[in-house]
Amino acid sequence: MTRTRRMKFNDDSSQDTDNSSAENIIPSVSKVNSPISLNLALDNVKLNPKDSCSVGDNYVETRCSIEDKVVSREKEVEKIELEIRELQLRKRLLELTSNSLSKVRKASETTESSNSRSRDINPAVTSGRQYTNEYLSDEVQLKAQVDSIKSLFMTASLPKIEVMKFDGSPLRFWPFIKGFKTNIADRVDDDTQKLMYLIHYCEGTAKDVIEHCVLLPEEDGYTKAINILHIQFGRPHDIVEAFLTELLDGSPLNQDDVTGLQKLTRLMTNCKIALSQMGRNADLDCSTNIKRIVKRLPRVIQFKWAEATDDILRKGLERNFDDLLQFLERKVSIATNTYGQLASGSYKAQIFAFVDKSLLWNFDFARISIGITWTLR
């Protein structure tokens, strides 16, 4: 009786349950005549390893893809920031003033010092500062390029410089060569054009000695012409001799000849510059040459120079060409200022008055002499 009820209860419960219940998977002890162990029942329930692996793989793949996207986005952001920074630097470069270069150098030095302190501490910060140094160096380079372009525009806007012509005088050889090289030769690449310009700016003897260089090959004509000019008119001893001849063999100066004194002073200055560049200062400091220059001066200035020389000798020094040049420059400065011109005018008036009185006295004396002569007759 009891067994019959128990079986009915089991039948009812089996009808109410779903086919997917644990009773369908794990056999009930009441439905099986022979007992089944719990381990054997659990063996029937097996996990699908593919399901677990697929879930893990999907998670890993999803995570990797997200990380890749994040990294790519970060790189894009960094690239955009770098481009923005570069544009800002370029914009700032156009607004730089004359003091911007010093500011950039100070910023560069500060960045380098901070990099040296934190290089071992934070590599990421160091790399960022390296980018800053690179941008600063680029800014300096761009600044140099802008300056060169500005200089070109300024040069183009300046008026044209007229190159003086060379007539073969050794005194004008180096000024002509310097001017021709700066204004013509450095701006022309073709040697044939350089030669034609050189012939055009020469005249007289200088033109005669180089005009046949046009018959030479293109690469040799200009070089040969320059060498001929150097040999004919640019030898150092010829230039020294020409300067000394013009300086020493001039005519003596009058007492009130301020213009002549100015010309002599300018000639002495040019002679000093030219001979010092050639290492020939000894020719200027020669005692004989200094005496020949002094002989050209008015007598009053010669006495003043004697006093100045005595002061130099009392100090235990030797007078030289520079001492005489400074002495004459001082005399020119005194004679050309306002009070010097006033004194010069008063002196001239006194001279003219003295001359007039002398003429009148001589005229009166001559008239008296003529009267006495006629009386004796």
How far is CA 124 from each of CA 11, 84, 249, 261, rounded to the nearest angstrom? 75, 20, 80, 75
Same domain, 223 and 247: no
The average pLDDT across 252-269 equals 90
Which residue would you say has higher pLDDT here, 321 or 41? 321
| Residue at 63 is within a domain | no
Q: Which of 206, 234, 262 is the last residue of a domain?
A: 234
Same domain, 202 and 272: no
| Residue at 370 is within a domain | no
Same domain, 263 and 330: yes
Same domain, 196 and 264: no
| Residue at 62 is within a domain | no
Q: Sign of the C-alpha dihedral, residues 69, 72, 78, 81?
A: negative
| Residue at 84 is within a domain | no
Same domain, 221 and 281: no
Task: Give pLDDT tens digits for 310-353.
Answer: 999 999 998 899 999 999 999 999 888 887 777 766 545 544 44
Alpha carbon distance 208, 206 (integer Å): 6
Same domain, 227 and 193: yes
Same domain, 246 and 291: yes
Task: Give pLDDT tens digits for 90-104.
Answer: 776 666 654 555 554
| Residue at 88 is within a domain | no
| Residue at 256 is within a domain | yes
**pTM of the predicted protein model:** 0.51
State the CB neighbour count (10 A cutoff) for residue 290.
19
Alpha helices, H only, the chain: 2-16, 22-25, 38-43, 49-94, 100-118, 123-157, 173-183, 191-200, 205-210, 218-233, 236-248, 258-277, 281-285, 287-295, 299-314, 321-336, 338-376
Q: Which of 199, 218, 234 is the last residue of a domain?
A: 234
Same domain, 230 and 243: no
Same domain, 216 and 260: no
Same domain, 219 and 249: no
Cα 293 versus chain centre, distance: 43
Buried b (16+ CB within 10 A) or exposed e, 309-330: beeeeeeeeebebebbbebbbe
Same domain, 189 and 134: no
Q: Which of 209, 234, 259 is the last residue of a domain?
A: 234
Alpha carbon distance 101, 161 (integer Å): 32
Q: Where residue 18 falls among pLDDT bands split at 50, 70, 90?
A: very low
Tally the domains of the chain: 4
State the CB neighbour count (10 A cutoff) for residue 210.
21
Same domain, 244 and 347: yes
Domain extent at residue 302: 239-358
Q: What is the DSSP string of 172-216?
A: GHHHHHHHHHHHTGGG---HHHHHHHHHHTB-THHHHHHGGGGGS
The average pLDDT across 34-48 equals 48
Task: Give pLDDT tens digits for 219-238.
Answer: 889 999 999 999 999 998 89
Task: Give pLDDT tens digits for 154-188.
Answer: 655 666 777 889 999 999 999 999 999 988 898 88
Query: Letter for the amino acid at 41?
Result: A
Q: In 3D, which of 22, 36, 28, 21 has the Cα closest to residue 7?
A: 28
| Residue at 42 is within a domain | no
Alpha carbon distance 350, 255 (integer Å): 14
| Residue at 85 is within a domain | no
